[in-house]
Amino acid sequence: MPKIILTTESGADLPVDLADKHQVQVVPMHVIMEGQDYLDGSLPVTDIYDYYNRTKKIPSTSATNSHEYYEFFTKIKADFPDCVIIHIGYTSRASASFQCAVVACEDMEDVYLVDALNVTGGLAAVVMYAVNLLEKEPTIEPVQLVEKVEAIVPKSRLAFVPGSLEFLRAGGRVSNVAYLGGALLKIKPRIELIEGKLVSTKKYRGNMRGVTEKLLQDYLSDYEIDRDQQIFFIYSIGLDESIKQRMAELAKDNGFNDVKWIQAGAMISTHAGPGGFGIAGLER
């Protein structure tokens, strides 16, 4: 049986320890700040927040390009001759990254591409599903694994609330009027991935502690999340530690025994800002 190598992008925010433990190869996306291009993962997230505090601007982001994908896949093939690569990618409906991967492997054999239609923890949940399936069934045929991963993609559910509306406003995602109204009323939008696109589906009012508890309550009410699978809690730097402790307690109270915390990296934090919280899991 050929060795199967799983790959994804840095926009999955897959923790380094999990990527290393399960030998998932990660290709970086890009953050551009003050005219310099940084590979996602090489730039401390706090540098982004410092930049915003100085300039009231946010960096821009860009996809992994086709040449980078070609080199990435080629190196894996050189390191693992005769391997099969299954790439689980960042939603094609919010980035050109997946299409660049398609272009890069047009003339390559044994490279399969799965559009996860998700980002950050929602993408990580699909990747870890593939990891767990491969470890349980090490002789699984690559085509069969791809089919099972593609079948789970619509069941990956991500919902998050930003810590504030400032980064969304700076990135042009909310108007000044909406920002002022939201700030005055302490309103925070619930943002989800719907068919691969970021959509605001609900608004919460109050402090972040109350909002995160309400988010979890609504999330578990809206979706039949599989308690036997991992659930991912995503946070951006600045989220109060007491909130994180409370959410961990609530997860256990709701029957989740395997909670994985994910820190939003530079790519995601550029759009979400500090102090945000999100949830990702797989439906039954």
Cβ burial 68-94 (10 Å sphere, 16+ → b, else e): bbbebbeebbeebeebbbbbbbbbbeb
Both structure tokens of 225? 């999340």
pLDDT of residue 174: 44
Question: How is residue 232 annotated by DSSP?
Answer: E
**Which residue spans of the chain are classified as CATH 3.40.50.10170?**
4-31+62-150
Residues 51-81 pLDDT 10s: 999 998 889 999 999 999 999 999 999 999 9
- Predicted pLDDT of residue 163: 81
Length of the chain as a residue count: 284
**In the chain, what is the straight-line distance between the N-terminal and C-terminal CA atoms, in Å?**
30
**pLDDT attached to residue 182:** 45
CA nearest neighbour of 67 among 120, 30, 115, 93: 30
- Residues 148, 211: Cα–Cα separation, whole Å: 35
Q: Contact, 46 vs 52, CB < 8 A?
A: no
Q: List the pLDDT tens digit at each of the 284 positions of the chain.
A: 789 999 999 999 999 999 999 999 999 999 999 999 999 999 999 999 999 999 988 899 999 999 999 999 999 999 999 999 999 999 999 899 999 999 999 999 999 999 999 999 999 999 999 999 999 999 999 999 999 999 999 999 999 998 877 776 655 544 443 433 444 346 788 989 888 888 888 999 889 999 999 999 999 999 999 999 999 999 999 999 999 999 999 999 999 999 999 999 999 898 888 999 999 999 99
CATH code at 156-282:
3.30.1180.10
- Residue 35, judged by CB atoms within 10 A of its CB (0-12, 13-18, 19+), counts as exposed
> Which H or E run contains 221?
helix 208-222
Q: What are phi and psi of 102, to 5 degrees?
A: -60, -45
Tokens 């991992």, residue located:
230
**Could you tell me where in the chain the CATH 3.30.1180.10 domains are found?**
156-282
Structure tokens, 167: 């980064």
4-31+62-150, what's its fold?
Answer: Rossmann fold (3.40.50)
Other residues' Cβ atoms within 10 Å of the Cβ of residue 259: 15
DSSP tag of 154 = G
Residue 1 confidence (pLDDT): 77
DSSP 194-218: ETTEEEEEEEEES-HHHHHHHHHHH
- CA 178, 183, 189 angle in degrees (round to 5)? 65
Please give the Cα distance from 243 to 153 (Å, whole number).
29
Cβ atoms within 10 Å of 242's Cβ, excluding its own:
9
Answer for the pair 34, 3: CB distance below 8 angstroms, yes or no: no
DSSP three-state, residue 18: helix
Helix, strand, coil percentages in the chain from 3-state DSSP, rounded to 5: 45, 25, 30
